[in-house]
Amino acid sequence: MPQSYRHTLLVLAVFLQIFFGLNLTGYSVTAAENREFDSKVVHLGKEIANKFLSNLMESLENVISNQGTAKAVAVYKEKVDEITRMIKNDLNNKDIGIKLLSPRYRDVENSPDYYEEQAYQDFQKVWKDTGRYPPYVIQEIRRNGRVLYRYYEPLYVKRLCLKCHGTLESLDIEAVKCIRQEHPNDNAVGYKLGDLRGFIRITIPQTFIAQ
């Protein structure tokens, strides 16, 4: 299906959802027309994303409450890696991938690759056409004889996020010192409550879905 036609269908679907309340959520840009796989990708992607984010937020809230925001900044990557390993072990699949990304990244590891840039552009096109971001975008990627699915979900700034990503009025002073020391090229501040911060990307091998 031509990409321009996919975008036209997408805009129509989001329009119907917003104005008529129809349950036409999400956006698929998979190469193959396999809606059964799309549905499984969305279900599993959302499940993994929710589990990861809820565990991460709970962990960071505990660190902030007991040791302060600066400590949360210092152990952030450690917590992300720890929760990622836990989820991979729970699913018994080391090829499951989890990544937090943003065009305004703090750590170069969170910068988008080619496919992530394409997903970001798809999100932005829907926002431009409808004034809302779709709840997800999925991609099918064929690489070295393997098929991988990527599920993307937008992340919005919550009140807790403002201590490390907000404007000068909301930033934690000690956290800012830590951020400047660890990430001198940081570009992930200046956000307001409810702003689009970035995305969570879940990578799922086709073989895992087919089990």
Q: What is the pLDDT of residues 115-151, one digit of tens each?
A: 999 999 999 999 999 999 999 999 998 888 888 999 9
| CA dist., res. 10 & res. 87, Å (int) | 32
Q: Does pLDDT of 9 surpass 60? A: no
> What span, in angstroms and rounded, lies between the C-alpha atoms of 151 and 81?
19
Out of 24-38, 104-118, 186-200, pick the least confident. Answer: 24-38
Residue 179 has pLDDT above 80, yes or no: yes
* Strand positions, DSSP E, the chain: 27-28, 97-101, 137-143, 146-156, 196-205
The percent of residues above 90 in pLDDT, for the chain, comes to 50
At 85-100, the pLDDT tens digits run 999 999 999 999 999 9
Q: What is the structure's pLDDT at 23?
A: 34
Give residue 183's pLDDT. Answer: 84
Q: What phi, psi does 112 have (nearest 5°)?
A: -80, 145
Percent of the chain with pLDDT over 70: 83
Give yes or no for residue 35 having a pLDDT over 80: no
pTM: 0.80
Q: Which residue has the tokens 């129809």?
A: 22
What is the secondary structure of 56-96 as a DSSP string? HHHHHHHHHHHH-HHHHHHHHHHHHHHHHHHHHHHHT-TT-
